Homo-oligomer: A and B are copies of this chain.
């Protein structure tokens, strides 16, 4: 199946976090490609990945980076596809640097920013599915099931806590 999401991480050391994104796209059976490119070390590679994505019918690009995390913004500067940015916690400043570098895009070129770190890696996948679901009612249904499942999990946990207290 043709991939609908392109995931680019700034460094292969981000892989353990980014596998959360992949895992959730797998749960929704949304096909994706995941690769490494650096806004700074491989600007040409980044540009080519984005241009190929546009040609190959990719719907959403997810960029994840730490520190002065320019990757999502640089991706967004080369495409009008929706771009999701995940700020990673990979410097002594604990992801505050990556968050501000991703979210504070100047007017004209938005990046859809999600939470710092692993929570953001998951949320980027769900947000991508929500965007693609606008053209695919089956995905909307799956998202609603996913919500119900999350709600059930919370209720089961509440049940376990209630028992423990007895």
Report which A residues bind B (CB closer than 8 A).
Answer: 10-12, 15, 22, 34-45, 59, 65-68, 70, 73-74, 76-78, 80-82, 84, 89, 91-119, 122-124, 126-127, 130-135, 140, 143-144, 146-147, 150-151, 153-155, 157-158, 160-162, 165
Report chain B residues within 8 Å CB of A153: 41
Q: Is the CB of A161 within 8 A of B34?
A: yes
Would A134 and B74 count as touching, CB distance under 8 A?
Answer: no
Nearest Cβ on chain B to A89's Cβ, whole angstroms? 4
Shortest C-beta distance, A61 to chain B (Å), equals: 11
Which residues of chain B come closer than 8 Å to A113, judged between CB atoms? 103, 112-114
- A68 cross-chain contacts in B, Cβ below 8 A: 70, 73, 100-106, 115
Integer count of this chain's copies in the complex: 8
Given A100-B97, A115-B103, A130-B110, are A158 and B92 also a contact pair (CB < 8 Å)?
no
18 more A-B residue pairs beyond the given contacts A15-B161, A45-B155, with a C-beta to C-beta distance below 8 A: A11-B106, A37-B154, A38-B106, A39-B73, A41-B154, A42-B154, A68-B100, A68-B101, A68-B103, A68-B104, A68-B105, A74-B74, A91-B116, A100-B100, A105-B115, A108-B122, A108-B146, A110-B115
- A112 to B105 Cα, complex, angstroms: 13
